[in-house]
Amino acid sequence: MTCSHISDLAVANLLADAARAAILPYFRQPGLAAQNKCAGGFDPVTIADRAAEEAMRGLLAEHRPDDGILGEEFGHKPGESGRHWVLDPIDGTRGFISGTPTWGVLIALADQNGPYLGIIDQPYTQERFIGGQGQARMIGPHGACDLATRKGSALEQAILFTTFPEIGNAQERAGFQAVSQQVRLTRYGMDCYAYALLAAGQVDLVIEAGLNPYDIQAPIAVIQAAGGVVTNWQGGPAHDGGRVLAAATSDLHEEALQILRQATAEG
């Protein structure tokens, strides 16, 4: 299953280190080119995205050659171990090309039941959020601390995040707005950093739609390790992407879930 004696967490940290080194030379550099991967919208990719994923795949070939890989930029590589690494080299490329520090590197290790180890890494701020295999930690320039989701917030006290104000289709937008009308504060545009803030106890809810597996598997592992809940809008597993609800507590999750289920049923 493995080709080296270092742990899975050590491999995940090696991947995050390599991605940082590949990405940072391009961040906030004038003239950085971005190609559009989406004919019907704007889904940018840069040389930094590709360089980071190539670096991570190279390390996996060395340390975990029997594991599969699912990456945003270079697709699926089958494995023989029953495990696979799920890589998003820059989650939030729109933010990356805009110079905001709210994009991140997403790394997850999963089996047939879903992700059980995850890293959300923000190279520019040097914050790394780690969850799974007994770990729930944030390591940053000001030291390290345990991750724990915020407890005790009712829906009317909650802080809610999503990436795009125009979330999903009309039905999904209506569901999100129904929850948004009940919370204290709604904020936009944070990409994977919103999930990191939820795991760190800063916010209470993240609701999104139209996600891919590589967008959400690392956040699932990190948030669950920190004591939170992540499902789809029907309360089932979310590791295949689609509509995702992440909450700091099971009670808050249930409150938001009921609203989203009703909106989905009415749509």
SS (H, E, C) the chain: CCCCCCCHHHHHHHHHHHHHHHHHHHCCCCCCCCEECCCCCCCEECHHHHHHHHHHHHHHHHHCCCCEEEECCCEEECCCCCCEEEEEEEECHHHHHHCCCCCEEEEEEEECCEEEEEEEEECCCCEEEEEECCEEEEEECCEEEECCCCCCCCHHHCEEEECCCCCCCHHHHHHHHHHHCCCCEEEECCCHHHHHHHHCCCCCEEEEEEECHHHHHHHHHHHHHCCCEEECCCCCCCCCCEEEEEECCHHHHHHHHHHHHHHHHHC
Q: Where in the chain is the domain with CATH 3.40.190.80?
A: 155-266
pLDDT of residue 37: 74
pLDDT of residue 40: 67
How far is 113 from 118, CA to CA, in rounded Å? 14
CATH architecture of residue range(s) 8-146: 2-Layer Sandwich (3.30)
11: tokens are: 């491999």
75: tokens are: 């697709």
pLDDT of residue 165: 86
Q: Residue 186: how many CB atoms within 10 A of its CB? A: 18
pLDDT of residue 1: 47
Q: At 263, is the pLDDT very low, low, confident or very high (cuts 50, 70, 90)?
A: confident
Give the percent of the chain with pLDDT over 70. Answer: 97
Domain covering 155-266 assigned CATH 3.40.50.1370 in the classification? no
Range 129-135 average pLDDT? 95
Q: Tell me the pLDDT tens digit for each residue of 5-38.
A: 899 999 999 999 999 999 999 999 998 988 887 6
Q: At 264, is the pLDDT very low, low, confident or very high (cuts 50, 70, 90)?
A: confident
pLDDT of residue 38: 67
Q: At 44, is the pLDDT very low, low, confident or very high (cuts 50, 70, 90)?
A: confident
Give the percent of the chain with pLDDT over 90. Answer: 88
pLDDT of residue 148: 98
Range 45-74 average pLDDT? 97
Q: Residue 191: how many CB atoms within 10 A of its CB? A: 25
Q: Where in the chain is the domain with CATH 3.30.540.10?
A: 8-146
Residue 252 and residue 244 in contact, taking contact as beta carbons nearer than 8 Å = no
